[in-house]
Structure 1
Amino acid sequence: MTNGADAQLMHSLDRVLEESSSDQEREQFSQLLDENPELARLVIDQLQTDALLKWSFSPSLPNVTVGSHEADEATTAACSPDSPTRVARRRSWKFAVGVAVAASLAGLLAFSWFNQTAPRTLGEVLASNNVEFGASCTAIGPDQKITAGILEITSGKLSLELSNGVTMSLRGPTQCRFDSDMLVELVRGQATADVPRWARGFTITTSDIEVVDLGTRFGVAKLGDANTDVVVFEGEVDLKSLGTADKQFARRLTQGEAARINRIGKIERIFQVHGEANDDSWSTLEPDSQDGVIAAVWDNLGATKSVSYYQVIPRGLDEDVHAYVDHPHQWNGLTSEGIPPLLLGADYVRTVNDYRYLNELSIEVEFAADATLFIIYDDRSELPDWLTSQFEDTGFDIGLDEDAWGGNPTFTVAEGPAESIDNTFSVWRRPCAAGETMTLGSMRVGREARAMYGIAATPR
């Protein structure tokens, strides 16, 4: 700040202390101090000096003996509007009020100044993996505490916990700004948030949208200038675009749904979310190098009918893994020997269980390498022609352990093979070549009890 601006700030302060300032001048003083917080210390010193001077030079009240005739006369005289005593008393009160105002203002400014020099802790780092911090990073200190400011990582993965219990993971390169433990702006990159119920309302914003948590686990990716990707792994979120007032939209996404949204609310469906076995990592981008034999999965439903996604997990099929993106059910072996060896460690697709009643459904699976494709089919449902004509029954079976959901709120899952098996699925297979796209159909007409089929593949 220049010397001229210093003088302007001090002049405004003098006017405030003399009670001669207008509302506009007081507002200007406040604005000057807001724009130049580094001068808070100077203002505090000036206020303290002013208060001391007023206290030192304030006139004393006259001595009056209580209970005497002279005292009554003195009191009467003092009550006269023009009496020297009354004037002195008014001056004394004026000085006392001035001292109190100056001291209070100094205290408030000091509180503000100390808040700026000692920012509130918003959270702390839980773990880091090959993390390199960017040059603009201001939100994390040597003590691994998170404060308001910019958090930038150029590579690696950073996990942190906010003071309200929200846990977040950031994968580099990512830059975000922490405004509070309830509001984070994702400038670029990718963030995943796991929000407890008591932190409902936690919000991640980008330049396109506002994502408000409703008690959930969700991911947000800002990967370019045009769009924002949102993926819901559990629970629900509310979306609101940040476009112009006449081009805003609001939409709710639930578990198993993902959307790519621009600033004016145009929404695209994200068909495939890449995942990793035994990890919470995810990506909506095509991988740099093919990891696994399944190259892509999509279907014939557009964004107007569905925004559910398929999640491909390379080498991920194992005991207790989630079978679907929209329901918490798990795959398990039917016996203590566990999942059949031909499926163990296979690439698998978490499908959409709610698609089990879509008669017009057509799913496409593209292969990056020669593979054996497996379909895991519910024994309660009649076998469709597309399955029996193109696949052979391996003779192996696998179990589905259902967790609580809308249709069966009392269900629970257990850990390990042969525990809490609710339904049995037969395993079918066929060979596929690299570059081939295989078309899978629906589960036929009907509303009987059933669960959506599973998809898995192994290299040949």
Structure 2
Amino acid sequence: MSMPPEESRRFDVIHELVTRQLDGTASEADEQQLHDAVTNDAEMRNGYIRYMQELTHITARLVHPKTPNDFSKSSVLAATTTDQPRVTENSPIIATPPNTGAASNPFSSWMITASVLAASVLLIISFAVQSGVRLGEEHDIPFDAGRQLAASDSPKSLDGIEVATLTECINVKWDSKRNAVEELSRVAVGQKLELREGRIKLVFDTGVEALVLAPCLLKLQDRNRVYCTYGRITAKASEGGKGFEIETPVARVTDLGTEFGIAISDTGETEVAVFEGEVDVELGSANQRSLPGRIAKKEHLVQGQATLVDHQGQSRRVFSIDNQRMPGVRDLAPLHHDQPVISAVRDNISERQPESRMFYRIVHAGLREDSRAFIDREHQWNGIAPEGMPRELLGADYVMPFNDDKFVGDLRVQVSIARPSTVYIFFDNNTQPPEWLTSEFVDTGLRIGLDEGANRFKPKKKVAVGPAASIDNTFSIWKRFVDNPQEIELGSFERPTDFKRSYNMYGIAAVARSKP
């Protein structure tokens, strides 16, 4: 079947530009032309996505002719991690030429190409999100019959309207082959996504990225709302994605421009944690919230706060959340895959502040340059010299406490250590080491730096990238050996007498070691 002339022209342009980039002959002008085409021209972008879908499907058949449905991004990740350029938010949208070194599989370059193309879809949509472009409106990827989604539309009238793109599938097993969704497919209102294993990423036309982890049952209700019966979802919204809602059996969470995570148990109990920005949480099921005479209960959560909602619509504090169970949408991969060392963190703050909702974030195997130091600040850990932070710390489990802990005079923090390990405390050199630190830990003589981000005193402050680039405070590194699984207790410290000197909460990290 022949294409209409205009569609054929677009296809030829896309094919030529992508081919040049894949064979390494593209000029900067070619790269810019493709970048401009897919970000400024709705029809060109739509054609580009279709082109890559078709090429990926063809590649799948070439690589696995007997089992075409087995081809997914997970099968080519290893091939694409070597010598590929680092992608940043400002990177141009290009299909990068594959590494064409010797390979035992004659189709390996095709596999790399397919992975690059799949990643390019996400880059395109991410660029549109960052630029404020709203996909799926009249000027962009059209809905059925060119209809706009209006707030007054009923769920039934919206069924079948495409509102998001499934941009990534990793080790996914669907509940059935009939309900399986291929990578790079569009998904529609009324569609159920039920994962038994693995994870997927959805990019909504409104500008919301959602990471969905199995086991999970999710239904799309409209362009900016989903219902999740059970499972885990992390959502990151751009300016255009504000108002994104996740309904659960016991709560409704509304995004106010943020990144947040939700974990829903088999019984419906719902944990909500805010990594950036803020959300509103309406407590109770939809039926409970609609009871006559009922006064709606709502919690407003900001960065660094979390809550657990039960079946009665009551909430309580969540003390700690680890990044394996509730990862961020764009979290970096762990530096190794050993079993976790730090399993939980608690404190005594709720004893006198029951309304507290602050949580400790545990990051497994994640300590590296530019790691975020505190859950309620943008500060980062960095090496104080160009060589970077001490090597023994790289890949450590670490805790993001909340920096405001430094104001709590009788603080007690319990850290659950799951295996024999070396536990490290990063202690601010602007403060006097307390007795609990000097008696239980040893100063290693090593130092680590803190690159401070924006705060209420310095709202325009920005962090830099890499070691030694912007060190505002230095911390002494103290260590303690733990031979068996146990809970260790950390305490508070005195404020410096010179109030002109800034100071920060201590950091916590741990590295597994062989039992002596």
Q: Aligned residue for 1:126?
A: 167
- CA offsets 1:162-196 (integer angstroms, 9 cap, x no match): 11111111111111111112111111111111011
Q: Aligned residue for 1:170?
A: 212
Percent identity of paired positions between Structure 1 and Structure 2:
35
- 1:180 matched to 2:218? The reply is no
Tell me how far 1:263 sits from its aligned partner.
Answer: 4.1
Distance verdict in 2 for CA 1:137–1:189, change over 3 Å: farther
The 10-residue stretch of structure 1 (164-173 or 295-304) with the greater mean CA deviation from structure 2: 295-304
Alignment of structure 1 residues 4-43 onto 2, 5 Å? none
Tell me how far 1:248 sits from its aligned partner.
Answer: 3.7
Say which of 388, 392, 403 aligns to 1:338. Answer: 388
The code of the aligned residue for 1:306 comes to S
Say which of 430, 434, 451 aligns to 2:504. Answer: 451
Q: TM-score, normalised by structure 2?
A: 0.62
Q: Aligned residue for 2:187?
A: 146
Q: Aligned residue for 1:86?
A: none
Tell me how far 1:127 sits from its aligned partner.
Answer: 0.7
Say which of 373, 377, 380 aligns to 1:323. Answer: 373
* C-alpha separation in 1, matches of 2:269 and 2:299: 16
Say which of 192, 200, 205 aligns to 2:242. Answer: 200
Q: Aligned residue for 1:240?
A: 282
Provide the secondary structure at the position in 2 that maps to 1:192: strand
- CA offsets 1:21-45 (integer angstroms, 9 cap, x no match): xxxxxxxxxxxxxxxxxxxxxxxxx
Q: TM-score, normalised by structure 1?
A: 0.69
Q: Aligned residue for 1:421?
A: 471
Number of matched pairs:
342
Asked if structure 2 preserves the Cα contact closer than 8 Å seen for 1:271 and 1:310, the reply is yes
* C-alpha separation in 2, matches of 1:296 and 1:423: 28
- CA offsets 1:331-355 (integer angstroms, 9 cap, x no match): 0000011001232222211111111
* C-alpha separation in 1, matches of 2:399 and 2:299: 27
* C-alpha separation in 2, matches of 1:308 and 1:409: 22
Alignment of structure 1 residues 219-298 onto 2, 5 Å? 219-242=261-284, 243=288, 244=291, 245-246=293-294, 248-276=296-324, 280=328, 291-298=339-346
Distance verdict in 2 for CA 1:270–1:118, change over 3 Å: closer
Provide the secondary structure at the position in 2 that maps to 1:375: strand
Say which of 398, 408, 418 aligns to 1:348. Answer: 398
Distance verdict in 2 for CA 1:410–1:281, change over 3 Å: closer
Tell me how far 1:446 sits from its aligned partner.
Answer: 6.1
Tell me how far 1:139 sits from its aligned partner.
Answer: 9.7
Provide the secondary structure at the position in 1 that maps to 2:463: coil
- 1:385 matched to 2:426? The reply is no
Distance verdict in 2 for CA 1:357–1:143, change over 3 Å: closer
Say which of 231, 240, 247 aligns to 1:189. Answer: 231
Asked if structure 2 preserves the Cα contact closer than 8 Å seen for 1:362 and 1:440, the reply is yes
Asked if structure 2 preserves the Cα contact closer than 8 Å seen for 1:247 and 1:265, the reply is no
Q: Aligned residue for 1:103?
A: none
Distance verdict in 2 for CA 1:290–1:217, change over 3 Å: same
Distance verdict in 2 for CA 1:423–1:148, change over 3 Å: same
- 1:160 matched to 2:199? The reply is no
Provide the secondary structure at the position in 2 that maps to 1:307: coil
Tell me how far 1:264 sits from its aligned partner.
Answer: 3.5
Q: Aligned residue for 2:134?
A: none
- CA offsets 1:335-388 (integer angstroms, 9 cap, x no match): 011001232222211111111111121001122222211110111122212112
- CA offsets 1:434-455 (integer angstroms, 9 cap, x no match): 1232110012256842111000
Tell me how far 1:459 sits from its aligned partner.
Answer: 2.1
Unpaired stretches in structure 2, ≥5 consecutive residues: 1-152, 331-336
Provide the secondary structure at the position in 1 that maps to 2:349: coil
* C-alpha separation in 2, matches of 1:117 and 1:273: 36
- More strand, by proportion: 1
Provide the secondary structure at the position in 2 that maps to 1:306: coil
Alignment of structure 1 residues 38-57 onto 2, 5 Å? none
- Specify the structure having the higher radius of gyration (Cα): 1
* C-alpha separation in 1, matches of 2:488 and 2:457: 32
Unpaired stretches in structure 1, ≥5 consecutive residues: 1-111, 283-288
* C-alpha separation in 2, matches of 1:296 and 1:363: 11
* C-alpha separation in 2, matches of 1:306 and 1:154: 35
* Structure 1 consecutive aligned stretches of length 4 or more whose deviation exceeds 6 Å: 115-118, 136-139
Tell me how far 1:315 sits from its aligned partner.
Answer: 2.0
- CA offsets 1:396-422 (integer angstroms, 9 cap, x no match): 110011111223212111111111111
Provide the secondary structure at the position in 2 that maps to 1:342: helix
Distance verdict in 2 for CA 1:218–1:361, change over 3 Å: same
The 10-residue stretch of structure 1 (188-197 or 383-392) with the greater mean CA deviation from structure 2: 383-392
- 1:308 matched to 2:358? The reply is yes
